[in-house]
Amino acid sequence: MSLINPQAVLLPGDMAPVHLLLLALLCPLIDHCDGACAEVDSDTEAVVGRGFKLGCISCKRRSEVEAFATVEWYFRPTGEADFVQIYSYNEGVATIEHIDFSERIDWNGSKRSNDIQDASIYLLNVTFNDSGTYQCFLYRTLSYDNNFQKRVIVGKVVHLTVVAKATRGTASIVSEVMMYVSIIGLQVWLLIEMIYCYRKIAAAGEEALREAANAEYLAIASESKDNCAGVQVGE
């Protein structure tokens, strides 16, 4: 009898997300962990004179399939028609293919492995001439168990603008303004509601007092009337 009961290893369907979540949380602690691959889009705004990471992530559909990949990056400056190759990465060997980028590109992708899923590069000392369209290509060979190999090419595009100073995205400004508007709006609304309720309660209280007084007066009046009647009857 085997020690591991296969049924205990199989996870029920609704346990899988929890399992994945745990895996995602633990992944930074584990060295070889493919479960954490996520295709995050690259930033698209670089500041002149600084460094910039051109992101290019392509996750494997099935992380258990072994793969080998090489990477090529191409660039088309704004206003030009053609792409030129600027960089290649093959079995850990990085080559800068264009003079404009010499000594200005560092590998920022997957390390210690030829199974590249992150093909990002780092651009040093960005100039205005670097704005344009970048394309990365991953040439991936997938090796399946039965000696079957499959080649796939994945391409991604990054439209880069170079600015003199870091600007904040409009979306971020709009959302900050909206946050203040909604906080102040809600507080004002709460205040108005409080005043309104206070006045309503106060008015209702006065009304109730008046009614109570009236009721008392009437009660006394009718009581005295009754008494009077009683007295009259008694006479």
Ligand X SMILES: *[C@@H]1O[C@H](CO)[C@@H](O)[C@H](O)[C@H]1NC(C)=O
Question: Which spans of this chain sit near ligand X (rule: CB under 6 A)?
Answer: 103-104, 106, 108, 122, 124-125, 127, 129
Smallest distance from ligand X to CB 26, Å: 20
**DSSP strand E in 27-83: where?**
45-47, 52-54, 66-77
| Least gap, CB of 128 to ligand X (angstroms) | 7
Q: Closer to ligand X at the Cβ: 105 or 142?
A: 105
> Cα-flanking dihedrals φ and ψ of residue 21, to 5°?
-60, -45
For residue 63, the minimal CB distance to ligand X (Å) is 21
Q: Which of 63, 197, 174, 43 is nearest to 120 (CA)?
A: 43
Judged by beta carbon, residue 127 or residue 224, the one nearer ligand X is 127
Which CB atom, from 55 or from 142, has the smaller least distance to ligand X?
55
SS (H, E, C) 120-167: CEEECCCCHHHCEEEEEEEEEEEECCCCCEEEEEEEEEEEEEEECCCC
Distance of closest approach, residue 110 Cβ to ligand X, in angstroms: 10
| Residue placing its CB nearer to ligand X in the complex, 29 or 99 | 99
Q: Minimal distance in Å, beta carbon 138 to ligand X? A: 17
- In the three-class reduction of DSSP (H, G, I as helix; E, B as strand; rest coil), residue 213 is classed as helix
* Rg of the chain taking only CA atoms, in angstroms: 37
In the chain, where does DSSP find H-type helix? 6-9, 16-26, 170-234
Q: Which is nearer to ligand X, 166 or 231 (CB)?
A: 166
